[in-house]
Structure 1
């Protein structure tokens, strides 16, 4: 019924792009943050301004990664190396930490003012998973996961959460390392071979593959089905409801 291997006991869902359309919110926040920085840098250096391209830059460099790692990854793709900095940095400081903080503030503002769009097919699938008696966890790099789940009305469907806050508290490396997914399975007392990872990001499916989980579902929201398979997805769907329909 759920399109999953026999013996599955838990479903580990990424949040942004899998359950909610906050990926578009994050992409818009990244673009605004990077474009402001790149424009200022170009004006200072007298060089052409090349904006952040959501289609070309979002997936490979920032999607699914912790904010600091995503910030540094994109900057290095442009040949820019900034000092990491720290929490005490001024908002306009030219550090990785300051840029990541600006991006997070924009995300929080957009979530509060615009709200969160939930994928209807994901809600259907989540409810079917719960009705089947499987455990559920949200595994997200975002430090705003609890807020997003609450605003989206999904909290009651999620048994456990391992997010950016959890990773920082436990010292867990972010995706594409498998540690956050492994922590979620362990917290649920489920063997990794009996857990399924649901991810839309290339870094996310790579972490599912690296963790040795029983099955990895790639959710293709950006037209990158082939890349999701190459990074470790066992199957790729454009909407989680397809997994229910395939079993009819």
Structure 2
């Protein structure tokens, strides 16, 4: 049914890069924040400025992960150790929380300025699922998930939302751990082996595989089909419309 095995009865979707065209906004926001920080660090230490790569560094260290984990992961890759700080740190402070806050401020500003566009193929797929009465959930590391869904006009297409706010409240480990996807499946009342995960991030695909889900679909928006398969995708497509029978796009 709809391109997946017949035993699949629930559908769990990542947000950025799967449902909405916001992954590139996040990549730009991470680059803006990290390049500002790295340029200042290079000047402070008298070293060469090496910018954040919005493709390689984004995919490897931050894509799909909770914001604080992404900040820590990239800093560790550059052997930079900063104080953890706390949520009260001003944006741009030389702490993990301060840098993370700066990134969030930037992405919110960019979304406000540019708006949010959903992928038309994903919206069509969601409507097909709703007509068939199949349960749907959004599983995102973003604390801004509901705002993005609302801005994209697709909030009403889901019964369950497990986002960064829910993960924090329930103390759920972020991707690549499977905890948030497992929580969504449980809320929908469907065991993991009968649910499908849709992800464009390597960490997200890995979380779907770690959770023992019945199908893990990788969305290749940036030419990383092989990497998605290596991280556990059973099937890789460039758009969800490819899963709709008879769609010629």
Q: Which runs of 4+ in 1 moved over 2 A?
A: 245-248
Residue 69, structure 1, aligned to residue 69, structure 2 = yes
Aligned in 2, Cα 1:59/1:95: closer, same or farther, shift over 3 Å? same
Counterpart-to-counterpart distance in 2, 1:215 and 1:94:
41
Report the Cα offset of residue 226 of structure 1: 0.5
Alignment gaps of 5+ in structure 1 = none
RMSD: 1.2
Aligned mates of 1:198, 1:124 — CA distance in 2: 15
SS of 1:146 mapped into structure 2: helix
Contact 2:205 2:231 in 1 (8 A): yes
CA displacement, residues 202-233 of structure 1 (integer Å, 9 cap, x when unaligned): 00000000000000000011111011001000
> Which residue of structure 1 aligns with residue 52 of structure 2?
52
Shift of 1:107: 1.1
Which residue matches 2:156? 156
Partner residue, 2:118: 118
Instruction: Report if the CA contact (8 A) 1:177-1:210 is conserved.
Output: yes
- Please give the residue correspondences for 1:163-202 in structure 2 after superposition, counting only pairs within 5 Å: 163-202=163-202
- Residue aligned with 2:198, SS: strand
- How far did residue 69 of structure 1 move? 0.3
Aligned to 1:8: 8
Partners of 2:89 and 2:55 in 1: CA distance: 30
For residues 84-117 of structure 1, what are the alpha-carbon distances to aligned partners after superposition, in whole Å with 9 as ceiling and x for unaligned? 1111223232111110111011111111121012
Partners of 2:118 and 2:247 in 1: CA distance: 23
1:245 offset after TM fit, Å?
A: 4.4
In the alignment, what sits opposite 2:89?
A: 89
The whole-number CA distance in structure 1 between the counterparts of 2:9 and 2:233 is: 19
The runs of 5 or more residues in structure 2 that have no matched partner are none
- CA distance, structure 2, for counterparts of residue 5 and residue 143 of structure 1: 32
How far residue 160 of structure 1 moved from its aligned partner, in angstroms, is 0.9
1:133 deviation in Å?
Answer: 1.3
* Partner residue, 2:210: 210
TM-score (norm 1): 0.97
Find the aligned partners of 1:139 and 1:29 in 2 and give their Cα distance.
Answer: 21
* Alpha-carbon distance change, 168 to 47 in structure 1, aligned in 2, over 3 angstroms: same
The count of residues paired between Structure 1 and Structure 2 equals: 248
1:8-49 alpha-carbon deviations (Å, 9 max, x no partner): 211000000000011011001000000000001111111111
Q: 3-state SS of the aligned residue for 1:69?
A: helix
